[in-house]
Structure 1
Amino acid sequence: MPIYEFRCECCGHRFSRFFRTMRGSEEDAPQPCPACQSDNIRRLVSSFAVGGGSASDTETTRESSDTTRRAASITPKEQIDRWRSGSKR
């Protein structure tokens, strides 16, 4: 189920359109620009995620590493060393 990205040549508006099949993207008449209703649109080459990652996954990873970094900056080194060694002094 492909999603194609388009740009209006008249107003520059970018938009996406979902197709049920790849064949449908070739057979269906192009829809006009949702911003200005022009039929002068061009299909763009879009970027894609490899490996199933998404922008939200990246943001979550970044947030958790920021949280870990902040915790490390306020936790005494001795406490961190005890956690790593497994002891509970």
Structure 2
Amino acid sequence: NKMCSPARCVCKEGFYRKDGNANLQQPTKKPDQSDCQPNELFRECSSMCEPKCGANNRPCTAKCGPPKCQCQQGYYLDTSGDCVSRDECEWV
């Protein structure tokens, strides 16, 4: 039995809530490579199938996701949100 979350307003694409209030602010700059962490690349068309530690061979879609930083090829997203090598992953 699925439970639905309470009805709520959501921001239009490209906007976010400022301090949890209804004041909508547009980001000051478009994200780019300078926002990325080590072992990440900025992708205009992000993958919906980003490799994650412990989530081997999971089904996914080839649909384009929003522009964002994602792990470089050969790296996996760990539970802390860092991109690590396969050897550094904890495979559960």
Normalized against structure 2, the TM-score is what?
0.19
Larger CA Rg, structure 1 vs 2: 1
- Greater helix share, 1 or 2? 1
